[in-house]
A and B are shown apart, each in its own frame.
Chain A
Amino acid sequence: SAVISQKPSRDICQRGTSLTIQCQVDSQVTMMFWYRQQPGQSLTLIATANQGSEATYESGFVIDKFPISRPNLTFSTLTVSNMSPEDSSIYLCSVAGVTDTQYFGPGTRLTVL
């Protein structure tokens, strides 16, 4: 399976600011995804990161709040914009290659004060 890293691993931010999370994978992958896991909850898909084009967002998530980039097959960023305490969550990227299996990064633990 691919080795996936995320930066930062955790952060504490002030409300109204923005944080960009990076996801790097050690091999070229077909699909990259961003998930949110709120405290005590399961995983919810935010969007599919598309290389060279706009991400595909799930219901309830919008580009202005969660802009996503994917400049190549091994790297993606998720920005959490204009943060509020409700954005405190674990943010996870996942990747999938030629098989259907999705593998997850270690997550970024965000606390918004």
Chain B
Amino acid sequence: GESVGLHLPTLSVQEGDNSIINCAYSNSASDYFIWYKQESGKGPQFIIDIRSNMDKRQGQRVTVLLNKTVKHLSLQIAATQPGDSAVYFCAERGEVTDKLIFGTGTRLQVFP
């Protein structure tokens, strides 16, 4: 398959460990945030979202934390598995628009 994000920041974790992927967003007025996972040769896959009136949201094995004070978003993956290997993108949406602005992405590599 085709490689996406050849020059992206890379996070390497051991299988079974927890992963934390960070994202700094740009617009203090953004009210909605999404994390996407993109595997090689595929389109971005929705993982989890959070609105600006929340600080934390949990899904299955994933947690998103939002710190509006410092405009920081993080994705925590519990018990990381080889299938979690991918490029992860955060995206923000402004208060009065439907458009998403994507971060630069982080490559997660899981080794045995």
Contact = CB atoms under 8 A, between A and B. Distances in A.
Interface of A: 1, 4, 31, 33, 37, 39-45, 48, 58, 90, 92, 96, 100-107, 109
Given A103-B46, A104-B43, A105-B43, A42 B98 contact: no
A92 B98 contact: no
Most buried by B among A40, A58, A92: A40
Interface residues of B, number: 27
Interface in B78-110: 89, 91, 93, 98-105
Contact of A101 (B2, B4, B5, B46): B46
Given A42-B104, A43-B102, A45-B100, A1 B6 contact: no
Contacts of B6: 39-40
